[in-house]
């Protein structure tokens, strides 16, 4: 009961939260570009386990030195576990799309999440959606249709995965705001990374036991031997997920989900930039129009 009252009286820090989420998506977008770049090297479960195995001792050490009083079970353990599982499912879905999509297309489709956060905030928290908010929802989904073009002959079914990821992420952030707001952000990050290791290990064991025939691809391939290059890549990915998991928790604890969700889509701009710089991916005109509509919808969600 004490933790509930703490969450209710906690004061929002809008500027701090917005700055945190912009820096966070910068780090995450770079990490996701690296994942796309290494997707033909690592299997997703190895990435989960090794990356988080690097991150967990760093998080634990920080708590021991800086916040020993926070080093305890989350007060809302089941909600924290649910949040972690939802986020792991979100990353599985998004990462599986990256080898098959332009980074900018995956990002723009995924960053319909401000729209889902707006809808979920209304349905779960009770926020009102204004007429402007409903227009934003319509424009956002029109942007998705322009990017996915489901009737086009070159429609890529992998483009559905970032959309599913957006729904999962929005759910997790609403959960952060409503049920996990009183938890220490490092504890939330630690719980997430422990879940990454657990899910990755269980999946790897099950695949080893039950997979038959040729094992290949980002989902089923055997783990690769770790050399110096692989360890450097994993260390960079660990830094990215550390910033991502801590930054999102801090941002959504300190400002309303609809506001932070809007600035969250700065990821789209970063993803377009990294796609051009690292993969020479230049979106076509229709896709760019779709991305612009999603960005406009996000800004309108902020002003609703």
pLDDT at res. 92: 94
pLDDT at res. 86: 97
Q: Check residues 191 and 244 and name the one with the higher pLDDT.
A: 191
pTM assigned to the model: 0.81
Taking alpha carbons only, the member of 162, 302, 183, 161 closest to residue 246 is 183
Taking each helix axis from N to C end, the angle separating 160-178 and 77-97, rounded to the nearest 10 degrees, works out to: 160
Contacting residues for 288 by C-beta, under 8 A, at least 6 apart = none
Give the 3-state secondary structure of residue 269.
helix
How many Cα neighbours within 13 Å face the side chain of 52?
Answer: 22
Predicted confidence (pLDDT) per residue in 178-198, tens digit? 888 888 888 998 999 999 999
Domain boundaries, the chain: 13-303
Taking alpha carbons only, the member of 53, 19, 21 closest to residue 246 is 21
Predicted confidence (pLDDT) per residue in 39-95, tens digit? 888 889 999 999 999 999 999 998 899 888 888 888 888 999 999 999 999 999 999
d(CA 261, CA 39): 28
Predicted confidence (pLDDT) per residue in 255-293, tens digit? 887 678 777 778 888 998 999 999 998 888 888 898 888
Q: Check residues 170 and 156 and name the one with the higher pLDDT.
A: 170
Q: Where are the beta strands (DSSP E) in the chain?
A: none
């Amino acid at each position: 009961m004490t933790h509930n009252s703490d969450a209710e009286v906690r004061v929002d820090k809008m500027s701090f939260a917005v700055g945190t989420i912009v820096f966070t998506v910068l780090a995450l977008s770079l990490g996701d570009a690296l994942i796309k770049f290494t997707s033909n090297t690592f299997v997703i479960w190895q990435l989960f386990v090794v990356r988080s195995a690097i991150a967990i001792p760093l998080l634990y050490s920080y708590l021991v030195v800086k916040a020993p009083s926070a080093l305890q079970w989350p007060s809302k353990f089941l909600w924290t576990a649910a949040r972690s599982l939802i986020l792991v499912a979100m990353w599985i879905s998004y990462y599986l799309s990256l080898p098959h999509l332009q980074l900018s297309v995956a990002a723009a489709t995924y960053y319909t999440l401000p729209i889902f956060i707006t809808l979920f905030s209304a349905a779960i928290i009770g926020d009102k959606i204004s007429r402007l908010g409903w227009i934003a929802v319509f424009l956002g989904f029109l942007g998705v249709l322009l990017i996915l073009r489901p009737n086009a002959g070159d429609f890529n079914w992998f483009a559905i995965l970032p959309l599913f990821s957006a729904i999962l992420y929005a759910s997790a952030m609403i959960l952060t705001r409503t049920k996990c707001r009183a938890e220490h952000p490092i504890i939330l990050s630690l719980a997430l990374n422990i879940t990454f290791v657990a899910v990755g290990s269980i999946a790897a064991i099950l695949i080893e036991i039950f997979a038959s025939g040729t094992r290949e691809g980002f989902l089923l391939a055997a783990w690769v031997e770790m050399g110096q290059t692989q360890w450097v890549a994993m260390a960079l990915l660990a830094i990215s997920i550390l910033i991502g998991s801590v930054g999102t928790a801090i941002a959504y604890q300190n400002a309303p989900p609809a506001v932070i969700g809007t600035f969250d889509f700065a990821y789209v701009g970063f993803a377009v930039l990294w796609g051009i710089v690292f993969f020479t991916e230049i979106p076509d005109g229709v896709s760019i129009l779709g991305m612009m509509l999603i960005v406009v919808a996000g800004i309108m969600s902020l002003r609703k």
